[in-house]
């Protein structure tokens, strides 16, 4: 195929992918993100932008395996009441609204780093909304705190979010090196984000509000509804059976072992899948209910996205655009890092962060490797940090934001709707300040 036709047809296929990823219910083609990605991937082959063999080769199996393994482990952790216990921490002897806000940020950041931001937001949103009923704080403030902290916290580990998985695998960065490189930035970024939230909504936290003292005990009806183990665990209430307690202990031990193995540098994909299979065997029950909760649509979406992005890369358009920007993005210069960060933030919000990483990652690493191997690793870490924090800019910048918004809309009694403009008013200053704060530490890593 002539280069011009390849560029045109490849751009059309990628445009369909982009539109349906950002707007999955577009009126003319309301088929959703996963079907849209499959359509775009198929068009790349049908239009002969890439061959079927090249399309199969573009699918990154280690990343899909790591996603599958962490999803299964996350499901068993949910059944073992880990997230319910995290929810109880949100309100246990909380001293007023400021304390509650800080707790939401802290729990969201930590849980997202090790159990993915999407999983944390799915489970913790319900807790936050129920706790909010006990205190006179607009729900949107705690929801913004939950979503923004989940995005920032997920930057610390390769298993915190999908784009980090891609970066760790493609950059061949071990778990421990990734963690030590981004943990300081995550901590500083989280503190900056909390300060912005407190300053932005200072009028909400009046002295009268803080004098109300401790919040009420955690709603017992919520604990009953979310008790996934089938046995009530309300402190002094009915004692858990020994079998149920044994299963939960096994889940925690296996998960801890998985994290230790990742820190020791074992293959991340096979470690996650091995942990998932161990939990399936130790559970000694039909694994179908747990396996059915795996989001297979996400796995299909990723597989199709790999093909679509590879096809778009083969059109040559991303390379030409990078050639225009590269002279101004030297990783060893402050101005170059600033230009690069802005480019990543813009592209992450236009094309979503995972496609942005797939489009820019290899080119950034190649440019940085010409300077030194250390700069190459630093380039990958910068990309991980900025592409993750960029998710806080707008409502559609991160799946975690959309999850929180959709979960809130399911409870109309709260009258809580996070609009695009509401999120942008907070997201713009938060993204720029948090990204800048973290880059100061990563650049000196």
DSSP string spanning 89-152?
A: HHHTT-BHHHHHHHHHHHHHHHHHHHH-HHHHHHHHHHHHHHHHTTTTS-HHHHHHHHHHHHHH
Q: In a 3-state reduction of DSSP, which class is residue 66? A: helix
Six-digit token pair at 102? 């800080």
Contacts 24+ apart (CB under 8 A), 355-359: 355/17, 355/18, 355/21, 355/305, 355/308, 355/309, 356/163, 356/387, 357/163, 357/166, 357/167, 357/383, 357/384, 357/387, 358/166, 358/305, 358/306, 358/309, 359/309, 359/312, 359/313, 359/318
CB 265 within 8 A of CB 252: no
d(Cα 165, Cα 408) in Å, to the nearest integer? 28
Per-residue model confidence as pLDDT tens for the chain (445 residues): 577 888 899 899 989 988 887 776 777 778 888 898 899 999 999 999 999 999 999 898 888 888 888 889 888 888 888 877 776 777 666 677 788 888 889 989 998 998 778 777 877 877 777 776 666 677 788 888 999 999 999 999 998 888 898 899 889 999 999 999 999 999 999 999 999 998 887 777 655 554 444 444 444 444 434 444 444 444 444 445 777 888 889 999 999 999 899 888 888 889 989 999 999 999 888 888 888 888 888 888 888 988 998 898 888 888 888 888 888 877 778 888 899 899 899 888 877 788 888 888 888 888 888 888 888 999 999 999 999 999 899 876 777 777 777 667 666 555 566 667 777 888 899 999 999 999 999 977 6
Report if residue 3 sits inside a domain.
no
- 95: containing domain: 50-442
pLDDT score of 358: 86
In sequence order, the β-bridge partners of residue 95 are: 214
Q: Is residue 11 part of a domain?
A: no
Domain total for the chain? 1
- The reply to whether 6 falls in a domain is no
- Is residue 30 a part of any domain in this protein? no
Position 155 in a domain: yes
pLDDT at site 217 = 43
The rounded distance, in Å, linking the Cα atoms of 394 and 402 is 10
What is d(CA 257, CA 270) in angstroms, rounded to the nearest whole number?
A: 13
pLDDT of residue 218: 44
Write the CB contacts of 411 (distance below 8 Å, at least 6 apart in sequence): 129
The pair of three-digit structure tokens given for residue 329, joined into one six-digit string: 């993005």
**Does this model's pTM top 0.85?**
no
Q: Residue 223: its pLDDT value, please?
A: 41
């Amino acid at each position: 195929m002539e280069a011009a036709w390849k560029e045109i047809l490849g751009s059309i296929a990628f445009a369909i992918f982009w539109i349906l990823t950002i707007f999955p219910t577009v009126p003319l083609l309301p088929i959703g993100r996963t079907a849209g990605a499959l359509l775009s991937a198929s068009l790349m082959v049908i239009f002969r932008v890439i061959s079927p063999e090249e399309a199969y080769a573009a699918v990154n199996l280690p990343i899909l395996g790591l996603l599958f393994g962490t999803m299964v482990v996350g499901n068993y952790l949910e059944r073992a009441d880990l997230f319910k216990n995290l929810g109880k921490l949100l309100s246990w002897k909380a001293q007023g609204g400021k304390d509650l806000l800080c707790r939401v940020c802290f729990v969201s950041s930590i849980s997202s780093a090790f159990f993915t931001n999407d999983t944390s937001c799915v489970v913790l949103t319900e807790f936050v909304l129920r706790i909010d009923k006990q205190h006179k704080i607009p729900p949107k403030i705690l929801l913004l705190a939950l979503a923004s902290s989940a995005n920032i916290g997920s930057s610390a580990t390769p298993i915190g979010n999908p784009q980090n998985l891609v970066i760790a695998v493609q950059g061949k960065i071990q778990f421990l090196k990734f963690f030590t490189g981004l943990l300081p930035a995550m901590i500083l970024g989280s503190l900056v984000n909390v300060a912005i939230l407190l300053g932005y909504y200072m009028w909400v936290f009046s002295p009268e509000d803080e004098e109300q003292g401790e919040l009420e005990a955690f709603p017992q009806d919520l604990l009953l509804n979310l008790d996934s183990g089938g046995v009530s665990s309300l402190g002094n209430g009915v004692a858990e059976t020994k079998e149920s307690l044994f299963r939960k202990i096994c889940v925690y031990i296996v998960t801890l072992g998985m994290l230790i193995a990742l820190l020791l540098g074992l293959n991340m994909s096979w470690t996650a899948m091995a942990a998932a299979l161990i939990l399936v065997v130790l559970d000694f029950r039909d694994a179908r209910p747990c396996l059915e909760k795996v989001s297979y649509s996400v796995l299909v979406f990723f597989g199709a996205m790999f093909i679509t992005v590879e096809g778009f890369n083969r059109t040559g358009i991303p390379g030409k655009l990078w050639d225009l920007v590269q002279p101004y993005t030297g990783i060893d210069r402050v101005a170059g890092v600033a230009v690069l960060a802005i480019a990543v933030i813009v592209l992450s919000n236009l094309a979503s962060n995972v496609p942005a990483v797939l489009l820019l990652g290899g080119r950034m690493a190649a440019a940085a490797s010409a300077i030194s191997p250390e700069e190459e690793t630093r380039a990958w870490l910068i990309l991980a940090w900025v592409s993750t924090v960029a998710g806080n800019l707008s409502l559609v910048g991160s799946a975690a934001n959309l999850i929180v918004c959709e979960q809130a809309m399911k409870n109309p009694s709260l009258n809580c709707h996070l609009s695009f403009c509401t999120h942008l008013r907070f997201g713009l200053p938060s993204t720029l300040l948090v990204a800048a704060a973290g880059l100061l530490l990563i650049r000196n890593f």
